[in-house]
Homo-oligomer: A and B are copies of this chain.
Amino acid sequence: MCIADPTPDPLFTQQTITRRMGKFTLHSRPYTLVLRHVFTIASGSRSTTPVVLVRLDYDGVSGYGEASMPPYLGESHESVMAFLSKVDLRDFDDPFQTAAILAHIDGLSERDTAAKAALDIALHDLLGKLMGQPWHRIWGYDPTKAPHTSFTIGIDTAEVVRKKVAEAAPYQILKVKLGLDTDKMMIETIREVTDKPLCADINQGWKNRDAALDMAHWLAERGVVFLEQPMPKTQIDDNAWLTERSPIPTVADEAVQRLADVRRAWGAYSGINIKLMKCTGLREAHQMAELARALDMKVMLGCMTETSCAISAAAQLAPAVDWADLDGALLIDNDVFRGMEIAAGRVVPPNAPGIGVSVR
Protein backbone atom coordinates (compact mmCIF):
# COMPACT_ATOMS: atom_id res chain seq x y z
CA MET A 1 0.00 0.00 0.00
CA CYS A 2 1.27 3.43 -0.93
CA ILE A 3 1.02 5.53 2.19
CA ALA A 4 0.98 9.30 1.80
CA ASP A 5 4.43 10.59 2.49
CA PRO A 6 4.59 12.56 5.74
CA THR A 7 7.03 15.00 4.08
CA PRO A 8 5.20 17.62 2.02
CA ASP A 9 4.38 16.52 -1.53
CA PRO A 10 6.49 18.90 -3.67
CA LEU A 11 3.68 19.00 -6.23
CA PHE A 12 1.23 20.51 -3.81
CA THR A 13 3.05 23.32 -2.09
CA GLN A 14 2.63 26.27 -4.49
CA GLN A 15 -0.76 27.67 -5.53
CA THR A 16 -2.44 24.70 -3.92
CA ILE A 17 -5.98 24.73 -2.57
CA THR A 18 -6.48 22.07 0.12
CA ARG A 19 -9.97 21.14 1.29
CA ARG A 20 -10.96 18.62 3.94
CA MET A 21 -14.28 16.92 3.17
CA GLY A 22 -15.11 14.41 5.88
CA LYS A 23 -12.77 11.46 5.45
CA PHE A 24 -11.39 12.82 2.17
CA THR A 25 -8.88 15.63 1.59
CA LEU A 26 -8.55 17.17 -1.87
CA HIS A 27 -5.51 19.15 -3.00
CA SER A 28 -5.67 20.97 -6.33
CA ARG A 29 -3.19 23.15 -8.17
CA PRO A 30 -3.24 24.90 -11.55
CA TYR A 31 -0.22 24.10 -13.72
CA THR A 32 0.79 25.00 -17.27
CA LEU A 33 2.29 22.47 -19.66
CA VAL A 34 4.90 23.77 -22.08
CA LEU A 35 4.75 22.12 -25.51
CA ARG A 36 7.98 21.11 -27.23
CA HIS A 37 6.70 22.43 -30.58
CA VAL A 38 4.00 24.91 -31.46
CA PHE A 39 1.12 22.64 -32.40
CA THR A 40 -1.31 23.27 -35.27
CA ILE A 41 -4.55 21.46 -36.03
CA ALA A 42 -7.43 22.45 -38.29
CA SER A 43 -8.85 24.76 -35.59
CA GLY A 44 -5.72 26.70 -34.53
CA SER A 45 -2.19 26.78 -33.01
CA ARG A 46 -0.82 26.85 -29.45
CA SER A 47 2.37 26.43 -27.38
CA THR A 48 1.04 25.76 -23.84
CA THR A 49 -1.84 23.83 -22.28
CA PRO A 50 -3.37 24.59 -18.87
CA VAL A 51 -3.91 21.62 -16.54
CA VAL A 52 -4.99 21.18 -12.93
CA LEU A 53 -3.22 18.56 -10.81
CA VAL A 54 -5.16 17.00 -7.94
CA ARG A 55 -4.47 14.66 -5.05
CA LEU A 56 -7.24 12.90 -3.14
CA ASP A 57 -6.27 11.58 0.29
CA TYR A 58 -8.20 8.99 2.28
CA ASP A 59 -7.05 7.12 5.33
CA GLY A 60 -3.38 7.92 4.70
CA VAL A 61 -3.45 6.85 1.04
CA SER A 62 -3.18 9.35 -1.84
CA GLY A 63 -4.54 9.16 -5.36
CA TYR A 64 -3.34 11.50 -8.13
CA GLY A 65 -5.45 12.97 -10.88
CA GLU A 66 -5.28 15.58 -13.61
CA ALA A 67 -7.56 17.77 -15.70
CA SER A 68 -6.21 18.97 -19.06
CA MET A 69 -7.98 21.88 -20.72
CA PRO A 70 -7.09 22.50 -24.36
CA PRO A 71 -8.75 25.91 -24.87
CA TYR A 72 -11.10 24.87 -27.71
CA LEU A 73 -12.98 22.58 -25.29
CA GLY A 74 -14.11 25.42 -23.03
CA GLU A 75 -12.52 24.56 -19.68
CA SER A 76 -9.77 26.61 -18.01
CA HIS A 77 -7.76 26.87 -14.80
CA GLU A 78 -10.55 29.05 -13.42
CA SER A 79 -13.46 26.80 -14.41
CA VAL A 80 -11.77 23.65 -13.08
CA MET A 81 -10.74 25.24 -9.77
CA ALA A 82 -14.29 26.65 -9.44
CA PHE A 83 -15.82 23.23 -10.12
CA LEU A 84 -13.50 21.52 -7.62
CA SER A 85 -14.46 24.09 -4.97
CA LYS A 86 -18.10 22.99 -5.36
CA VAL A 87 -17.36 19.30 -4.78
CA ASP A 88 -18.16 18.04 -1.31
CA LEU A 89 -17.55 14.38 -0.52
CA ARG A 90 -18.57 14.68 3.14
CA ASP A 91 -21.59 12.44 2.58
CA PHE A 92 -19.38 9.56 1.40
CA ASP A 93 -17.29 7.75 3.93
CA ASP A 94 -16.26 4.89 1.63
CA PRO A 95 -14.18 5.50 -1.53
CA PHE A 96 -15.41 2.16 -2.97
CA GLN A 97 -18.83 3.76 -3.56
CA THR A 98 -17.46 4.70 -6.98
CA ALA A 99 -20.74 4.70 -8.89
CA ALA A 100 -22.48 6.86 -6.29
CA ILE A 101 -19.54 9.25 -5.77
CA LEU A 102 -19.01 9.81 -9.50
CA ALA A 103 -22.75 10.17 -10.18
CA HIS A 104 -22.87 12.83 -7.46
CA ILE A 105 -19.89 14.68 -8.98
CA ASP A 106 -21.30 14.38 -12.50
CA GLY A 107 -24.60 15.82 -11.31
CA LEU A 108 -22.96 19.04 -10.08
CA SER A 109 -22.85 20.56 -13.57
CA GLU A 110 -23.67 19.91 -17.20
CA ARG A 111 -20.11 19.94 -18.55
CA ASP A 112 -16.73 20.36 -16.73
CA THR A 113 -15.73 16.94 -18.03
CA ALA A 114 -11.98 17.50 -17.48
CA ALA A 115 -12.55 18.63 -13.88
CA LYS A 116 -14.69 15.51 -13.34
CA ALA A 117 -12.00 13.34 -14.94
CA ALA A 118 -9.38 14.70 -12.52
CA LEU A 119 -11.47 13.47 -9.59
CA ASP A 120 -12.31 10.13 -11.25
CA ILE A 121 -8.61 9.48 -11.98
CA ALA A 122 -7.57 10.39 -8.42
CA LEU A 123 -10.31 8.13 -7.02
CA HIS A 124 -9.24 5.22 -9.22
CA ASP A 125 -5.60 5.75 -8.24
CA LEU A 126 -6.65 5.69 -4.58
CA LEU A 127 -8.82 2.55 -5.00
CA GLY A 128 -6.19 0.66 -6.95
CA LYS A 129 -3.68 1.43 -4.18
CA LEU A 130 -6.18 0.25 -1.55
CA MET A 131 -6.52 -3.04 -3.50
CA GLY A 132 -2.81 -3.26 -4.23
CA GLN A 133 -3.34 -3.59 -8.01
CA PRO A 134 -3.18 -1.50 -11.16
CA TRP A 135 -6.54 -1.09 -12.90
CA HIS A 136 -5.52 -3.05 -16.00
CA ARG A 137 -5.16 -6.06 -13.71
CA ILE A 138 -8.37 -5.35 -11.78
CA TRP A 139 -10.14 -5.26 -15.17
CA GLY A 140 -8.49 -8.56 -16.09
CA TYR A 141 -6.62 -7.28 -19.15
CA ASP A 142 -3.35 -8.62 -20.50
CA PRO A 143 -0.94 -5.63 -20.54
CA THR A 144 1.09 -7.20 -23.35
CA LYS A 145 -1.99 -6.70 -25.58
CA ALA A 146 -1.60 -2.91 -25.45
CA PRO A 147 -1.11 -1.52 -28.99
CA HIS A 148 1.60 0.71 -30.36
CA THR A 149 1.00 4.37 -29.69
CA SER A 150 0.92 6.77 -32.57
CA PHE A 151 3.02 9.91 -32.51
CA THR A 152 1.24 13.03 -33.70
CA ILE A 153 2.47 15.20 -36.57
CA GLY A 154 0.69 18.58 -36.60
CA ILE A 155 -0.11 20.57 -39.72
CA ASP A 156 3.07 22.45 -40.63
CA THR A 157 5.59 23.29 -43.33
CA ALA A 158 7.29 20.42 -45.18
CA GLU A 159 10.51 21.20 -43.34
CA VAL A 160 8.97 20.95 -39.87
CA VAL A 161 6.98 17.86 -40.86
CA ARG A 162 10.19 16.11 -41.93
CA LYS A 163 11.81 17.11 -38.64
CA LYS A 164 8.88 15.70 -36.68
CA VAL A 165 8.94 12.45 -38.61
CA ALA A 166 12.63 12.12 -37.68
CA GLU A 167 11.74 12.82 -34.04
CA ALA A 168 9.12 10.08 -34.27
CA ALA A 169 11.74 7.45 -35.13
CA PRO A 170 10.91 5.26 -32.07
CA TYR A 171 7.20 5.06 -33.01
CA GLN A 172 5.71 2.46 -35.33
CA ILE A 173 2.63 4.41 -36.34
CA LEU A 174 2.19 8.13 -37.01
CA LYS A 175 -0.93 10.20 -36.61
CA VAL A 176 -1.19 12.95 -39.17
CA LYS A 177 -3.37 15.98 -38.61
CA LEU A 178 -5.30 16.77 -41.80
CA GLY A 179 -8.33 18.85 -42.72
CA LEU A 180 -6.78 21.96 -44.32
CA ASP A 181 -5.96 22.38 -48.00
CA THR A 182 -2.45 21.01 -47.36
CA ASP A 183 -3.56 17.38 -46.85
CA LYS A 184 -1.85 15.90 -49.89
CA MET A 185 1.34 17.88 -49.23
CA MET A 186 1.43 16.56 -45.65
CA ILE A 187 1.07 12.93 -46.74
CA GLU A 188 3.47 13.24 -49.66
CA THR A 189 6.09 14.89 -47.46
CA ILE A 190 5.80 12.08 -44.90
CA ARG A 191 5.88 9.38 -47.59
CA GLU A 192 9.16 10.82 -48.91
CA VAL A 193 10.81 9.90 -45.63
CA THR A 194 8.93 6.92 -44.13
CA ASP A 195 6.62 4.04 -45.06
CA LYS A 196 5.26 3.58 -41.51
CA PRO A 197 1.49 3.12 -41.23
CA LEU A 198 -0.37 6.39 -40.71
CA CYS A 199 -3.65 7.36 -39.17
CA ALA A 200 -5.35 10.51 -40.37
CA ASP A 201 -7.05 12.85 -37.92
CA ILE A 202 -9.18 15.22 -39.95
CA ASN A 203 -10.76 17.00 -36.95
CA GLN A 204 -14.01 17.59 -38.90
CA GLY A 205 -12.02 19.34 -41.61
CA TRP A 206 -13.71 17.79 -44.67
CA LYS A 207 -17.08 19.31 -45.59
CA ASN A 208 -18.01 17.57 -48.85
CA ARG A 209 -18.72 13.85 -48.78
CA ASP A 210 -17.73 13.07 -52.36
CA ALA A 211 -14.38 14.81 -51.93
CA ALA A 212 -14.04 13.00 -48.58
CA LEU A 213 -14.55 9.61 -50.23
CA ASP A 214 -12.00 10.48 -52.93
CA MET A 215 -9.51 11.43 -50.22
CA ALA A 216 -10.31 8.23 -48.26
CA HIS A 217 -9.29 6.18 -51.31
CA TRP A 218 -6.23 8.36 -51.96
CA LEU A 219 -5.14 7.99 -48.31
CA ALA A 220 -5.86 4.23 -48.17
CA GLU A 221 -3.60 3.74 -51.18
CA ARG A 222 -0.85 5.54 -49.24
CA GLY A 223 -1.00 3.34 -46.14
CA VAL A 224 -3.43 5.31 -43.98
CA VAL A 225 -5.22 2.81 -41.72
CA PHE A 226 -8.17 4.85 -40.46
CA LEU A 227 -9.86 8.26 -40.67
CA GLU A 228 -10.57 10.08 -37.43
CA GLN A 229 -13.60 12.40 -37.46
CA PRO A 230 -13.46 12.99 -41.23
CA MET A 231 -16.44 15.33 -41.45
CA PRO A 232 -18.21 17.71 -39.04
CA LYS A 233 -20.00 15.84 -36.27
CA THR A 234 -23.24 17.63 -37.19
CA GLN A 235 -23.11 16.04 -40.69
CA ILE A 236 -24.30 12.72 -39.29
CA ASP A 237 -25.67 11.37 -42.57
CA ASP A 238 -22.53 12.35 -44.47
CA ASN A 239 -20.29 10.59 -41.97
CA ALA A 240 -22.52 7.49 -42.17
CA TRP A 241 -22.48 7.65 -45.98
CA LEU A 242 -18.68 7.86 -45.94
CA THR A 243 -18.34 5.04 -43.37
CA GLU A 244 -20.41 2.76 -45.56
CA ARG A 245 -18.18 3.36 -48.61
CA SER A 246 -14.74 4.10 -47.19
CA PRO A 247 -12.04 1.47 -47.83
CA ILE A 248 -10.67 2.16 -44.29
CA PRO A 249 -12.54 2.49 -40.97
CA THR A 250 -13.84 5.82 -39.68
CA VAL A 251 -13.47 6.75 -36.01
CA ALA A 252 -15.74 9.20 -34.20
CA ASP A 253 -13.86 11.73 -32.08
CA GLU A 254 -15.67 15.06 -31.73
CA ALA A 255 -18.97 13.14 -32.29
CA VAL A 256 -18.46 10.91 -29.24
CA GLN A 257 -17.82 12.35 -25.84
CA ARG A 258 -19.65 10.21 -23.33
CA LEU A 259 -21.22 6.78 -22.93
CA ALA A 260 -24.59 7.83 -24.32
CA ASP A 261 -22.92 8.98 -27.56
CA VAL A 262 -21.55 5.52 -28.38
CA ARG A 263 -24.97 4.08 -29.20
CA ARG A 264 -25.67 7.02 -31.50
CA ALA A 265 -22.33 6.57 -33.29
CA TRP A 266 -23.16 2.92 -33.98
CA GLY A 267 -23.79 2.66 -37.73
CA ALA A 268 -22.45 6.16 -38.49
CA TYR A 269 -18.79 5.36 -37.70
CA SER A 270 -16.70 2.16 -37.59
CA GLY A 271 -15.29 3.04 -34.18
CA ILE A 272 -14.93 5.57 -31.40
CA ASN A 273 -12.10 7.54 -29.86
CA ILE A 274 -12.22 7.55 -26.05
CA LYS A 275 -10.57 10.42 -24.18
CA LEU A 276 -10.67 10.65 -20.42
CA MET A 277 -10.99 14.44 -20.45
CA LYS A 278 -14.17 14.25 -22.55
CA CYS A 279 -15.89 11.30 -20.89
CA THR A 280 -15.28 12.24 -17.21
CA GLY A 281 -12.68 9.58 -16.50
CA LEU A 282 -11.82 5.93 -16.20
CA ARG A 283 -15.16 4.53 -15.05
CA GLU A 284 -17.06 5.84 -18.04
CA ALA A 285 -14.12 5.19 -20.40
CA HIS A 286 -14.12 1.53 -19.38
CA GLN A 287 -17.88 1.33 -19.95
CA MET A 288 -17.51 2.98 -23.37
CA ALA A 289 -14.77 0.55 -24.42
CA GLU A 290 -16.80 -2.46 -23.31
CA LEU A 291 -19.95 -1.11 -25.01
CA ALA A 292 -18.15 -0.41 -28.28
CA ARG A 293 -16.70 -3.94 -28.21
CA ALA A 294 -20.14 -5.42 -27.62
CA LEU A 295 -21.40 -3.47 -30.65
CA ASP A 296 -18.46 -4.72 -32.77
CA MET A 297 -17.02 -1.24 -33.08
CA LYS A 298 -13.33 -0.38 -33.16
CA VAL A 299 -11.90 1.40 -30.14
CA MET A 300 -9.22 4.06 -30.13
CA LEU A 301 -7.81 5.62 -27.00
CA GLY A 302 -6.80 9.25 -27.28
CA CYS A 303 -5.51 11.98 -25.04
CA MET A 304 -4.99 15.72 -24.73
CA THR A 305 -1.64 17.30 -23.96
CA GLU A 306 -1.32 15.82 -20.49
CA THR A 307 1.31 14.84 -17.94
CA SER A 308 2.12 11.17 -17.34
CA CYS A 309 -0.66 11.22 -14.73
CA ALA A 310 -3.67 11.29 -17.06
CA ILE A 311 -1.71 9.36 -19.70
CA SER A 312 -0.98 6.53 -17.26
CA ALA A 313 -4.64 6.45 -16.26
CA ALA A 314 -5.61 6.03 -19.92
CA ALA A 315 -2.90 3.38 -20.35
CA GLN A 316 -4.84 1.13 -17.96
CA LEU A 317 -7.40 0.67 -20.75
CA ALA A 318 -4.86 0.29 -23.55
CA PRO A 319 -4.94 -3.54 -23.62
CA ALA A 320 -8.65 -3.34 -24.54
CA VAL A 321 -8.30 -1.05 -27.56
CA ASP A 322 -7.29 -1.32 -31.22
CA TRP A 323 -5.33 1.90 -31.50
CA ALA A 324 -3.73 4.16 -28.92
CA ASP A 325 -2.76 7.76 -29.31
CA LEU A 326 -1.12 8.33 -25.95
CA ASP A 327 1.68 10.69 -26.90
CA GLY A 328 0.37 13.60 -24.80
CA ALA A 329 3.19 13.49 -22.26
CA LEU A 330 5.83 13.12 -24.96
CA LEU A 331 4.89 16.46 -26.46
CA ILE A 332 5.63 18.48 -23.30
CA ASP A 333 8.81 19.72 -21.68
CA ASN A 334 7.73 19.85 -18.04
CA ASP A 335 6.11 16.52 -17.08
CA VAL A 336 5.86 16.18 -13.29
CA PHE A 337 5.01 12.46 -13.16
CA ARG A 338 6.59 9.17 -14.16
CA GLY A 339 4.29 6.37 -15.26
CA MET A 340 3.41 4.79 -18.58
CA GLU A 341 6.42 3.91 -20.67
CA ILE A 342 6.74 3.17 -24.34
CA ALA A 343 8.87 0.20 -25.39
CA ALA A 344 9.69 -0.07 -29.09
CA GLY A 345 6.68 2.16 -29.75
CA ARG A 346 4.29 0.00 -27.72
CA VAL A 347 2.31 1.25 -24.70
CA VAL A 348 3.47 -0.39 -21.46
CA PRO A 349 0.76 0.10 -18.81
CA PRO A 350 2.57 0.69 -15.52
CA ASN A 351 2.58 -2.25 -13.13
CA ALA A 352 2.31 -0.26 -9.88
CA PRO A 353 -1.04 -0.10 -8.01
CA GLY A 354 -3.73 2.38 -9.02
CA ILE A 355 -2.79 4.31 -12.16
CA GLY A 356 0.87 3.52 -11.47
CA VAL A 357 2.45 6.98 -11.29
CA SER A 358 5.05 8.59 -9.05
CA VAL A 359 5.98 12.25 -8.72
CA ARG A 360 9.23 13.11 -10.56
Contacts and interface: CB of A to CB of B under 8 A. Distances in A.
A116 B142 CA distance: 20
A359 interface: no
A14 to B, nearest CB: 33
Copies of this protein in the assembly total 2
A31 interface: no
A185 to B, nearest CB: 42
Interface in A240-274: 259-260, 262-263
Contact of A294 (B96, B97, B137, B287): B287
A295 B291 CA distance: 9
Contact of A290 (B97, B260, B287): B287
A344 interface: no
A99 B294 CA distance: 14
B294 A259 contact: yes
B295 A96 contact: no
Contact of A141 (B99, B137, B142, B291): B99
A140 B98 contact: yes
A277 to B, nearest CB: 20
A132 interface: yes
A169 interface: no
Contact of A142 (B99, B140, B259, B291): B99
A160 interface: no
A283 interface: yes
Interface in A280-314: 283, 287, 290-291, 294-295
A141 B99 CA distance: 6
Nearest to A296: B263
B291 A137 contact: no
B287 A96 contact: no
Interface in A108-138: 131-133, 137-138
A291 B99 CA distance: 16
Contacts of A294: 259-260, 262-263, 287, 291
Interface in A85-106: 96-100, 102
Contacts of A263: 294-295
B137 A96 contact: yes
Nearest to A260: B294
Contacts of A260: 294
25 contacts: A96-B133, A96-B137, A96-B140, A97-B140, A97-B142, A98-B140, A99-B139, A99-B141, A99-B142, A100-B142, A102-B140, A131-B131, A131-B132, A131-B133, A138-B138, A140-B283, A259-B294, A260-B294, A262-B294, A263-B294, A263-B295, A287-B290, A287-B294, A290-B291, A291-B291
Q: Which 8 A-B pairs have the closest CB atoms?
A: A98-B140, A131-B131, A96-B137, A99-B140, A291-B294, A100-B142, A97-B142, A287-B290
